[in-house]
Structure 1
Amino acid sequence: MATTPTPDAAALVGALLDLRTWQAFDIDADGRVLAGHDDLGSVQLVEIDPDGTRTPLTDLPSRCTGRYVPGRRQVVVQHDQGGDENMQLSLLDLTTPPERPRTLEELTPLLRDPAHMHVLRDVTPKHLVYSTNRRNAVDMDVVVRRWDTGGEETVWDGGGYVADTVVSHDGGSVAVTALSLRPASTLVFVAGPRAAGDGRVTDPDEHASHHCGGWAPGDDALVLSSNSGREFTAVVRAPLDGSPWTTLVEDDEHDLEVRPSPDGSALVVGRLVDGAVELAVHEADGRLRCPVVLDRRGVAEVVWAADSSRFVLTVSSPTAPGSLLAVDAATGAVSTVVDARDGVPEELAAVLVEPTSHRVPTPDGEQVPCFVYRPARPVPGLTGASVLHVHGGPEGAATRMFNPVVQALTGCGFTVLVPNVRGSVGYGKRWYSLDDVDLRLDSVADLAALHAWLPELGLDPARSALWGGSYGGYMVLAGTTMQPDLWAAGVDIVGISSLVTFLENTSGYRRAYREREYGSLEHDRELLVRASPVTHLDQLRAPLFVIHGANDPRVPLSEAEQIVAALAARGIPHELKVYADEGHGLAKRANRQDAYPAAIGFLTALLGR
């Protein structure tokens, strides 16, 4: 079986994977932007001066991110080892501008303990804030380190999985967003002098999602996005003294996100509308200040300047890789820092397509949101062939962002369906709760509903494949084993083949929080067995292309190995690619260039005619 696309297809896939995508990480007081792109093979740091000058800063073995140290020409760099997610922290000194990107050996170690993770959470003029699981390899403590003395204070060691932290304006307290043990739920608490009582701002037993965006002026309240008592997340002010919350911005039909300015005087509010984000700047009390009008419909991440005068957006849309835009916080005026579209050759831009949006009916009366990408030009032999591309998570979502794999599949001639099956976020609390624990297989059933809908698009149901990574990889394996008559092939990337062995072998700091979603080993083993693809291997007959990172801390390599062993024993065509320097997914360009063209070639050989 051929596993390489035709020369033209291979060139197209390679060119799409080579496109430079930017991401903004921070802005300093002089207007410099700390950004990243993967020209060196994985995401590395680049500094962009106000005049547009770009200075490459790092050349590390693995991808990295960073934050400026306010008031100094220094950057805290976060990096791991071959994708193992055991984040380490180092200091990059920019007092003397680098003549070339710095290597790992040229950085000053801040936290180097390869057996544990140290996640960069916040940087202030006086403090470095990070979370770490070094105490017991499971629970994530929140630690504040002083820059002047190097002394450390553990401000939270109550257990749990920390998702984010924000330091108060006076620098004395930290607001922590953590996962709770309820499915698709989080909790917010405060550590430090500003904490009232046990520090909890939200109810840990409530089935609700909260995220602390920042502190209100005066540090007497937090600004949260929360769906407590409502279907969609709203922007609320939560006083620390236990007084009733105040709703600042709400929308009865869409989830809202919020990023307060550093001084708390303004709020950037994002409204999630069918996979895209619509932005506006609001006053601290919720009143609209100005809309932010972008020239593309997609997703955006916000990074505020320290003086709250402006912010930088990382903007991505289906046909435009990640670009950097600057926004005046007073007026909403938008200017370009880096437009990644300038790096897209005209002939490549011609094959990029925008999706159409649909709602796909299911037998039980639900409607699955789905984006459909149709080829810009027909490819002989692949007319009518389709690929269903399932996102990871399960508490994740497919959005209107640039995805080179989706565009590569479409450019090679496949129609690509990108659904938000039940359990996806961005469509309200009810929808993301419809796959919890004993409802897991209802999400898998959505795949069958999508397959039944293919003729509505003029597609051939006999020539449809599944593609997905992480939880999406689980869905690939679940679909091909539990619905063997529907799917002609699958591409499984770091997917779960057994929910039992996954939970037994995943990193300790993740186990409890995966059990809240899938079910526990102690109480729900029968359900976990029934929902595991390996349980249904006797029905599998679709060829599979399997991709995995050897250092994956989330879904161990053993999950891929056991499914491949079963394929081999049954004589089913398959291919396994394992990358020794990768973790949960492919972070390095060379590995993506090796794996994805081969996977697309695998599908082309099977679905073409």
Structure 2
Amino acid sequence: MAADARHPLTPTVRGEEGTGTAPAAAPAPDTRPPGHEWPQAAARPRGRARPEPAGGPPAPHPPPETAGGATAPAAQSAPEPVALPDSAAPHDVPQRLVAHGCWYPSTDPDGRYVAFICDRTGVPQLWAGPVDGDQPHLLDADPDPVTEVSWSPDGRWIAYTTAPGGGELTRVLCVRPDGTSRRLLAGGEPGVSAHLGCWSPDSSAVAVTMTEPAPAGLARTGPDRPAATTEPPVPAHSGGWTERDGRAVLLGAAPLASVPHQEPQRTVLHGGLGAPPDEQEHRTLAAYLVDPEGGAAPVLVASEGGAPTLRVCALSRDRSLALVRRGPRGRREALVVRLRDGTVTGSVRVADGDPWIGGFAPDGRTLWLRSDAGREFAALVAVRLGPRGQWLGHRAVAARPGCDLELLALGRDGRSAVLSWNARGVSELEIVPLDPAAPAVRGTGPHEPSAATGPAVELPHEVITRLVPTPSADGPVLALSGSRRRPGVWWLHQGAALRTPWSSRDEDAVPPGRPPVRPVPLRPVARDGLPLGGWYYRAPGRSAQEPAPCVLHLHGGPEEQERPMLDPLYHELLGRGLDVFAPDVRGSSGYGRSFVDADLGEGRFAALDDVADCAAHVVVAGLADPRRLAVMGRSYGGYLTMASLVWHPELFRVGVAVCGMSDLNTFFAGTEPWLAESAAHKYGHPERDRDLLRALSPMSRVDALRAPVLAVHGEHDTNVPVRESEQFVRAARERGLEAELLLLHEEGHEFRRADNRRLFRRSAADWIQRHVAV
């Protein structure tokens, strides 16, 4: 039902203007910093990458070895680099987007050149350029969106993650800084996904995590304990399990004990719920260290069956220890893994959000983490380690009352750190010295205040999205966003933040004559007394006393947070004379751990009431017209949109649900297993809590639906399958209501292509404007 004449909003071609095709690439300009030996890029027309090994297929590698020296099981197929055709383009690629965005920077060893993601061609692609020059060049002209970037410590390679076809399955590649020697490191096989980890300090390997079938020898024997096995050991963990039986994702095997304060153990990760033999080939996450040159066999760092996440975040300088982040949302852990024998020497809870949670001091005896263990808000935590990585205890050394430590970047000399604090949605930057002997901050309990050290740095815009240290301790590179600009890359120079010349100017953020709207914070109160938050955007030209048609926009997650950043969707709605209120209902981040956990299980019913309470707040304040309220949101916000339309059917005139879940039981049956484990912690167990999930599902109350609804979905979304939108639209139509489905081609759960984003926001604004106009 997603693409026929009955669905006029469903495109039969991609977007309105196409993506455009770059001309054949000329050699990239020589922007090499002094001392760097980079060969020139070969000319190559733009096109989709295909694995084409130069000079024939690569020579086979010997079987990978575990850290303890044993050969890994054959089923755990370690990634091997595969040479690809060079794909680079000159810096003068036609710039289709004047107000382009630049984000996710990573610097070379000198801090003078930056690799980054930029969408100036309409697709997020890999670029590089000097921090103080205007000659960036495109390193990979293929149309697959780029999602992460990491420059090697020696400057010879840039590793990056792409999403083929815009979907959710990703792969990891690396390329020379001029676009040559491009190769695939992991994720090239059908159905396999890979994501990027850290580089080794000597640049001899980069960590990648990939999905793969579990070894056949890891049989499951029962729900209470893992079975004995003769297979090579992999690190222990302290979380739960996920298995899949075709109907739902099954969770809840007895967790293994965490080991922060006892002798290190070597424990094999398996166990489970007694699945039948034909279900023993469940998916596993495995993290490897991969040599980008292909000269050494990959080394297995950690492997976990049914894991929601597994990422190698840092390696000690002697490569004896690895910092691994694992676990579902709301229950993330930092593990220290001893690579020699695969032992987990300790673990501690870490905050959600940015996956780069910390790193080791140069001597390997201190681990610096961004953690909320035993605290309401995340702080900078120092972990003392013994000579063999033993966990000797941890303490908070920098914290702020009422603020999460959101981003942490350790200085390259190991003597300083750059911190970004989240103060009710606005970032505050701080550079602090690192002293392992510093005393713990006072008040490390859940609600006790404490102070951080170091002077704050003034920023030109409200939100930092990434921090990158440079050789200059006080000169990091920042990715900044704000309510009046597109995402850009900045660098600190003598205490002042300077915009890189290749980032778009603030004045180019929107077309002339329509300046961005700076939002104002609102603090609604829920009916049970819980303080909420959010940002209100007033459409230009309207008097303060005039109640306006208003769109409540609900963010995803649920753990995301509304931030004062320029959202082109909001700008489109405001240009139509529609106000926007973007609230943070319970379950959002930025307000403390208790607030994040307030929507767990049956607490979700209160989150549904929060939406109605936020609508009432802006009506009572005289901002919004109660007869012209709309609701929309993406991902979890799409679920909240559908749920609000059936729980509060008389409140909203129209709704737009983007990539939302309409039935939590069918969502669990169809989503990715890793996401199911995280979702079960938030919503409920798909077997034990089926009645709760049914009661929380919009489809269970669809008879109450009264408002017209537009559903929007990416065709390659495997996080929330398209079926979730299809069944809600079908049910609405069967009840005689106006409902449409807009299916975006070459998109997954995130909409990354400029033409598709434009089509989405214009279609959504048209739909809302048509139904709230009086």
TM-score computed with the length of structure 1 as normaliser = 0.90
| 1:435-446 map, 5 Å | 435-446=599-610
What secondary structure, in the 3-state scheme, does the structure 2 residue paired with 1:25 have?
A: strand
CA shift, 1:308, in A, is 5.3
Equivalent in the alignment of 1:33: 114
Structure 1's 279 and 524: CA in aligned 2 closer, same or farther, altered over 3 A? same
Uncovered stretches (5+) of structure 2, i.e. residues with no partner: 1-6, 11-15, 18-95, 215-281, 439-451
1:60 aligned residue (133, 137, 142): 142
Of the structure 1 ranges 531-540 and 345-354, higher mean CA displacement relative to structure 2 is found in 345-354
Equivalent in the alignment of 2:211: 133
CA shift, 1:279, in A, is 0.5
Equivalent in the alignment of 2:403: 254
Equivalent in the alignment of 2:184: 109
Amino acid at match of 2:566: F
CA shift, 1:116, in A, is 1.0
Equivalent in the alignment of 2:624: 459
| 1:577-592 map, 5 Å | 577-592=742-757
What secondary structure, in the 3-state scheme, does the structure 1 residue paired with 2:747 have?
A: coil
2:302 aligned residue (134, 149, 156): 156
Equivalent in the alignment of 2:591: 427
Asked whether 1:219 is paired with 2:384, we answer no
Structure 1's 346 and 132: CA in aligned 2 closer, same or farther, altered over 3 A? closer
Equivalent in the alignment of 1:7: none
Amino acid at match of 1:56: L
Deviations 1:289-332 (Å, cap 9, x if unpaired)? 4432112223342122367563210100111111211125xx54
| 1:282-321 map, 5 Å | 282-285=432-435, 288-305=453-470, 310-321=475-486
Asked whether 1:144 is paired with 2:294, we answer no
TM-score computed with the length of structure 2 as normaliser = 0.71
d(CA) in 2 for partners of 1:398 and 1:559? 25
1:82 aligned residue (162, 165, 176): 165
What secondary structure, in the 3-state scheme, does the structure 2 residue paired with 1:426 have?
A: coil
| 1:12-411 map, 5 Å | 19-30=99-110, 31-49=112-130, 50-64=132-146, 65-94=148-177, 97=178, 107-111=182-186, 112-124=188-200, 125-136=203-214, 138-147=283-292, 149-159=295-305, 160-162=307-309, 164=311, 165-180=313-328, 184-193=330-339, 198-202=344-348, 212-240=357-385, 241-257=390-406, 258-285=408-435, 288-305=453-470, 310-328=475-493, 332-338=495-501, 339-342=503-506, 344=508, 348=512, 350-378=514-542, 384-411=548-575
Contact 1:208 1:226 in 2 (8 A): no
d(CA) in 1 for partners of 2:175 and 2:674? 29
When you count helix as a share of all residues, which structure comes out higher?
1
Contact 1:444 1:479 in 2 (8 A): yes
Contact 1:22 1:36 in 2 (8 A): yes
Deviations 1:331-383 (Å, cap 9, x if unpaired)? 5443221453356178647431111111102211111101100012249xx96
Asked whether 1:486 is paired with 2:632, we answer no
State how many pairs are aligned.
Answer: 586
Structure 1's 208 and 425: CA in aligned 2 closer, same or farther, altered over 3 A? closer
Asked whether 1:416 is paired with 2:580, we answer yes
Deviations 1:394-447 (Å, cap 9, x if unpaired)? 121111222111122122211110111100011101111100112111111101
Contact 1:351 1:377 in 2 (8 A): no
Contact 1:320 1:341 in 2 (8 A): yes
CA shift, 1:135, in A, is 3.1
d(CA) in 2 for partners of 1:122 and 1:110? 14
Asked whether 1:500 is paired with 2:500, we answer no
Contact 1:2 1:602 in 2 (8 A): no
CA shift, 1:231, in A, is 1.3
Structure 1's 284 and 606: CA in aligned 2 closer, same or farther, altered over 3 A? same
Deviations 1:143-198 (Å, cap 9, x if unpaired)? 11134523111111134233542222223322011124xx6121110222489963
d(CA) in 2 for partners of 1:491 and 1:271? 33
Contact 1:275 1:299 in 2 (8 A): no
Structure 1 vs Structure 2 CA RMSD: 3.0
